[in-house]
Amino acid sequence: MTDAVSPNPSQFPSSLQLSNDLAALVAATAQAVVAVHGGGRQPSSGIIWQPGIVVTAEETIVHDADLALTLPGGDRVQATLAGRDPSTDIAVLRYEAAPPARAFAASAFAADLRAGHLALAVGRADGEPVATLGMVAFAGAPWRSRLGGQIDARIVIDARLPTVAEGGALVSADGSLIGIAVFGPRRRVLAIPAATIARVTPIIQDKGHIARGYLGVGLQRVPLAAAEAETQRGAMVVTLDPAGPAKAAGILQGDIIVRLGGSPVTGLRAVYQQLGSDAVGKKLAVDLIRAGVHKTIEVTIGPRP
């Protein structure tokens, strides 16, 4: 009698080889992954970007002081906050220790990512690596975060990421760096791409933050009559910074902004997305309604104080 459910012995070597390859990839990646003690209830993770420099998820750094790292060798060292950028969810930490075995800035970055490609998330917990395997669920064009940060690609990862691994490395099947793993809305796992990290990190190291555009207004979303504007909603100016760009340009409290830089303003997010770092110093047209009359005022966007 033949056992119909007996496995084919020839299948075992390939499965074992895959398992060993993944374990080796985790071990290699973990040489540049640290635990970050940022003041939260539990540590998060981070990547060694350059010797003495760690990049992690900005939202995991609760305090600006009393920071520490657990390095790949198990040593715990003090760290200082070089700076942070909430708009791209990147924080940069400095530490002093022997040069690491690996640093991601000198590694290859993943290219031509497509839905279905494997993605391995590697963090560090209690001094040991922690890993989860997933796949790229979506790989799309550059986008702006709700705070106006420019992200070089929208990459969504289908994986169950341990909380302790947030801020850790996301690598492709060949070990190339996809980026760092962060939680998005509804706990979806997103990648802050390696290209974004490479662009933002040197600025944070130098200046401590990323300059963002500043209009100098407090806004409240309001409905509009159909006859007043093309859109159903606008943003009313409820407060004005006396020293801000809007005040200097002649915008008044009570004005209803309907377009900024030619784009409809249907809420606060639409404004934030126009005020990224590239907006500083630019002149933007502000289309508004004042006492029922449509006006256009040109404002020179300043840096956020």
Among the candidates 179, 210, 241, a domain finishes at 210
Q: What is the CATH number of the domain that holds 113?
A: 2.40.10.120
Q: Same domain, yes or no, for 195 and 272?
A: no
**Residue 1 predicted with pLDDT over 80:** no
Q: Same domain, yes or no, for 154 and 296?
A: no
State percent of the chain over pLDDT 70.
Answer: 94
Among the candidates 162, 190, 210, a domain finishes at 210
**Residue 185 predicted with pLDDT over 70:** yes
CA distances (Å), 154 to each of 39, 51, 71, 185, in order? Answer: 29, 28, 30, 13
pLDDT at 46: 98
Q: Same domain, yes or no, for 232 and 180?
A: no
Domain membership of residue 229 as a residue range: 213-303
Q: Same domain, yes or no, for 130 and 165?
A: yes
Q: Same domain, yes or no, for 87 and 225?
A: no
Please give the average per-residue pLDDT across 201-205, as a whole number.
Answer: 96
Q: What is the CATH number of the domain that holds 297?
A: 2.30.42.10
Q: Same domain, yes or no, for 264 and 133?
A: no
Residue that the structure tokens 């900024």 belong to: 260
Distance in angstroms (rounded) separating the CA atoms of residues 81 and 208: 9
Distance in angstroms (rounded) separating the CA atoms of residues 305 and 302: 9
Q: Same domain, yes or no, for 25 and 109?
A: yes
* Beta pairing, strands 263-264 & 283-290: unpaired
Hey, what are 254's tokens? 């009570």
Q: Same domain, yes or no, for 205 and 219?
A: no
Among the candidates 173, 191, 210, a domain finishes at 210
pLDDT in tens, 171-181: 999 999 999 99
Hey, what are 192's tokens? 């802050």
pLDDT in tens, 118-156: 999 999 998 999 999 999 999 999 998 888 889 999 999
Residue 231 burial by CB count (10 A; 0-12/13-18/19+): exposed, middle or buried?
Answer: middle
**Greatest CA span in the chain, whole angstroms?**
91
Q: Same domain, yes or no, for 97 and 130?
A: yes
Q: Same domain, yes or no, for 83 and 224?
A: no
pTM, 2 dp: 0.81
Contact assessment for residue 103 and residue 48, using Cβ atoms and an 8 Å cutoff: yes
Q: Same domain, yes or no, for 123 and 228?
A: no
Q: Same domain, yes or no, for 36 and 112?
A: yes
pLDDT in tens, 90-129: 999 999 999 999 999 999 999 999 999 999 999 999 899 9
The number of folded domains in the chain is 2
pLDDT at 147: 80
> Which residue has better confidence, 39 or 92?
92
Distance in angstroms (rounded) separating the CA atoms of residues 192 and 117: 17
**Residue 66 predicted with pLDDT over 80:** yes
